[in-house]
Chains A and B, each alone.
Chain A
Amino acid sequence: MNILVIDDQPERAVVLERALTDIGHQVVVRPPGRNSLHQLVLSFSPDVVIVDAQSPDRDMLEDVALASDRTPRPIIFFAEDDDSDVIRRSIEAGVSAYVVDGLKPERVNTIIKVAISRFNAHQSLRGELEKTRSELADRKLIERAKGLLMQHRQCTEAEAFGAMRSMAMKKKVRLAEVAQDVLSLFET
């Protein structure tokens, strides 16, 4: 089948493109932020369009969907009774699909499931990355706060750290939050 992928996150689009090509589909990835969606759909005539649910391009696709019976239409209107779970999971994962009328539901579902799994994988990867980033930022914050405490209280590193940790435990907050308080106290 001809599949058009519209995604503002290029790295995710590449992964999805490869996965769909691997199972034997023709895939075109549209570069983000361009306005010639009408022409692209008419020239490539996709059977399925996979689009990032948050993309403002979606409303342009809705317009294209009205152009003729052979242009892909929002899958939400096609969903067969047993597909509703797939549709719900796809919307939750941020995948929206447009399909042309008359396609076999199983074939469309396979494509959507591939997209869901790639979007979810990308999401958890991003989650990991953000977690690592914020842990690193926390550590830097704690180091700076420790330094300031040592300077102002003329104590050892271990004592400064111990003071912050017992404060965090007493107030039932994260160590980084105590560090932030220390910084705003001494750096103003």
Chain B
Amino acid sequence: MTSNTTPEQSDLTLGFVPLLDCAPLIAAHELGYFECQGLNVRLQKEGSWASLRDKLMVGLLDGAHLLAPMVLASHLGKASTRVSPLTTALALGQNGNALTFSNDLVEQMGKPEPGNLEAVTKGLARAAERRIMEGKPLIFGTVYPFSIHTNLLRLLFRKAGLTLNQDVSIQVVPPTRMVSALANQEVDGYCVGEPWNSAAASCGQGQLLLLGSDLWPQAPDKVFGVSEDFSASAPKSHASLVRALMQACQWLDQPDRTATLAHWLAQPNYLDCSSDLLLRAMQTPWRDGLPRWRKIFFRDFASYPFHSHGRWLLEQLLAQDQLPLNGIDRTSLLERAYNKTLWEEVAQQAGLELPVTAPPVPD
């Protein structure tokens, strides 16, 4: 290793929430990719997204598996001057979420064919109307207020002609409690990452009717987030982390990786669940015969921090969540929060192509 790439800081702690899509962190660790970059990485499991954010912002974690909108939200609204906002130079893939509906709701929706967006939205509109008449409006679970999951639910409701907080509402439920919330009728459905959709289906508590990609093909989801302080004080460490994780994303996209991945992720220090469930979540074919998870980690520039994605998510935070912009210029906020320059540098050093067009976003 030449001195100009020696990381400023080599002992690093990265946080993750136990979900299938933390896979790049686990794979990079298990495959020794961090070590190859001269990094000594410790992975730390966290119980909530809020906890990852706090620890990143005060410097108790160096990097983390994070919901993309959280990085943008850290720049908005009132914030202490003593904590650092967040930034990302690497998306941890696209897609991977699904929508599960309770058996009762599926019944009320007239049992629409899974994956048939028109039938699902029509059925949902009908069921929502009925539930309003009964004085029990539908409630859907999401994993965090600022998340692609919340946005996918909003897209679904809009297609069904439903007004949020009037015809239907969204509540945060931790992923690990989604299935029991569905069973206890606290929610009528939810949008969550795997394996929590397959888990509901396998215990007969609900049905998976839509994949996230049915609402938004190649939607952004998680990113690898660091604080701006870390990125500024240890730019080489940051670049080395991005390099190792990018390699892991490439590894994950190759065929024949699911069994190895399921075996790693099932371990107690990672997801601590059955590897059979993980395999099922990743492999069960959807109606089109493709694997249901259909998470893309690298191909089609799935790890690139597209500003078009960032801008769309930012507009949602401003319009729907009513976070104040406080006079910050949108473009400079995106430049700070979505560091595509670093991605491009790392990719060019590895002889990889750069994207020429941005993927489409919903209207």
Which residues in chain A, 57-86, are within 8 Å of chain B measured between CB atoms?
57-63, 66, 74, 76-81, 83-84
> What are the interface flags for B55-90 relative to A under an 8 Å C-beta threshold, 1 for contact and 0 otherwise?
101111000000000000000011111110000000
Q: A60, B173: Cβ atoms under 8 Å? A: yes
Task: Please name all residues of chain A whose beta carbon is closer than 8 Å to the beta carbon of B55 when the two chains form the complex.
Answer: 91
Q: B172, A63: Cβ atoms under 8 Å? A: yes
Task: Please name all residues of chain A whose beta carbon is closer than 8 Å to the beta carbon of B143 when the two chains form the complex.
Answer: 59
* Best-surrounded residue of A61, A80, A83, A91 (most CB of chain B within 10 A): A91
Q: B78, A78: Cβ atoms under 8 Å? A: yes
> What are the interface flags for A84-110 relative to B under an 8 Å C-beta threshold, 1 for contact and 0 otherwise?
100110011000100000000000000
Distance from A117 Cβ to chain B, minimum over Cβ atoms (Å): 19
A38 CA / B177 CA spacing, docked (Å): 16
Q: A84, B172: Cβ atoms under 8 Å? A: no
A96 CA / B1 CA spacing, docked (Å): 41
Task: Flag whether A35 is at the interface (Cβ < 8 A).
Answer: yes
Q: B144, A81: Cβ atoms under 8 Å? A: no
Task: Flag whether A120 is at the interface (Cβ < 8 A).
Answer: no
Task: Please name all residues of chain B whose beta carbon is closer than 8 Å to the beta carbon of A61 when the two chains form the complex.
Answer: 50
Task: Flag whether A54 is at the interface (Cβ < 8 A).
Answer: yes
> With A53-B51, A54-B51 in contact, do A60 and B172 touch (Cβ < 8 Å)?
yes
Distance from B148 Cβ to chain A, minimum over Cβ atoms (Å): 15
Task: Flag whether B176 is at the interface (Cβ < 8 A).
Answer: yes
Task: Please name all residues of chain A whose beta carbon is closer than 8 Å to the beta carbon of B172 when the two chains form the complex.
Answer: 59-60, 62-63
Task: Please name all residues of chain A whose beta carbon is closer than 8 Å to the beta carbon of B175 when the two chains form the complex.
Answer: 56
Interface size on A, residues (CB 8 A): 28
Task: Please name all residues of chain B whose beta carbon is closer than 8 Å to the beta carbon of A77 when the two chains form the complex.
Answer: 77-80, 83
Task: Please name all residues of chain B whose beta carbon is closer than 8 Å to the beta carbon of A79 when the two chains form the complex.
Answer: 80, 82-83
A56 CA / B134 CA spacing, docked (Å): 32
> With A56-B47, A58-B51, A59-B174 in contact, do A66 and B82 touch (Cβ < 8 Å)?
no
Q: A59, B46: Cβ atoms under 8 Å? A: no
Q: A54, B46: Cβ atoms under 8 Å? A: yes
Other-chain residue from A35, A58, A88 in contact with B48 (beta carbon distance below 8 A) = A58
A79 CA / B57 CA spacing, docked (Å): 12
Which residues in chain B, 142-161, are within 8 Å of chain A measured between CB atoms?
143-145
Q: B57, A76: Cβ atoms under 8 Å? A: yes
Task: Flag whether A55 is at the interface (Cβ < 8 A).
Answer: yes
Task: Flag whether B186 is at the interface (Cβ < 8 A).
Answer: yes
How many contacts A-B (CB < 8 Å)? 94
A21 CA / B77 CA spacing, docked (Å): 33
Distance from B46 Cβ to chain A, minimum over Cβ atoms (Å): 7
* Best-surrounded residue of B82, B143, B172 (most CB of chain A within 10 A): B172
> With A54-B51, A77-B78 in contact, do A59 and B144 touch (Cβ < 8 Å)?
yes
Interface size on B, residues (CB 8 A): 34
Task: Flag whether B49 is at the interface (Cβ < 8 A).
Answer: yes
Distance from A186 Cβ to chain B, minimum over Cβ atoms (Å): 29
Task: Flag whether B339 is at the interface (Cβ < 8 A).
Answer: no
Task: Flag whether B54 is at the interface (Cβ < 8 A).
Answer: yes
> With A58-B48, A59-B143 in contact, do A35 and B54 touch (Cβ < 8 Å)?
no
Other-chain residue from B50, B80, B321 in contact with A78 (beta carbon distance below 8 A) = B80
Q: B83, A96: Cβ atoms under 8 Å? A: no
Distance from B72 Cβ to chain A, minimum over Cβ atoms (Å): 15
- Nearest residue (CB) in A for B169 is A38
Q: A57, B54: Cβ atoms under 8 Å? A: no
Q: B47, A80: Cβ atoms under 8 Å? A: no
Distance from A104 Cβ to chain B, minimum over Cβ atoms (Å): 16
- Nearest residue (CB) in B for A101 is B78
- Nearest residue (CB) in B for A66 is B145
> With A58-B48, A59-B174, A76-B83 in contact, do A88 and B77 touch (Cβ < 8 Å)?
no
Task: Please name all residues of chain A whose beta carbon is closer than 8 Å to the beta carbon of B176 when the two chains form the complex.
Answer: 56
- Nearest residue (CB) in A for B186 is A35
Other-chain residue from B46, B81, B181 in contact with A35 (beta carbon distance below 8 A) = B181
A58 CA / B70 CA spacing, docked (Å): 14
Other-chain residue from B50, B60, B144 in contact with A88 (beta carbon distance below 8 A) = B60
- Nearest residue (CB) in A for B141 is A35
> What are the interface flags for B175-190 relative to A under an 8 Å C-beta threshold, 1 for contact and 0 otherwise?
1110001001010000
Distance from B226 Cβ to chain A, minimum over Cβ atoms (Å): 16
Given contacts A76-B54, A79-B82, A84-B80, 10 further A-B contacts (CB under 8 A): A53-B48, A54-B46, A54-B48, A56-B176, A60-B173, A63-B172, A74-B50, A83-B80, A87-B58, A87-B82
Q: List 20 A-B contacts (CB under 8 A).
A: A53-B54, A54-B46, A56-B48, A58-B51, A59-B50, A60-B173, A62-B50, A63-B144, A66-B145, A76-B83, A77-B77, A79-B82, A83-B82, A84-B80, A84-B82, A84-B83, A87-B82, A91-B54, A91-B60, A96-B54
Top 4 A-B pairs ranked by shortest CB distance?
A56-B174, A84-B82, A63-B172, A79-B80
| Contact surface of B with A, Cβ cutoff 8 Å | 46-51, 53-55, 57-60, 77-83, 143-145, 171-177, 181, 184, 186, 321
| Contact surface of A with B, Cβ cutoff 8 Å | 35, 38, 53-63, 66, 74, 76-81, 83-84, 87-88, 91-92, 96
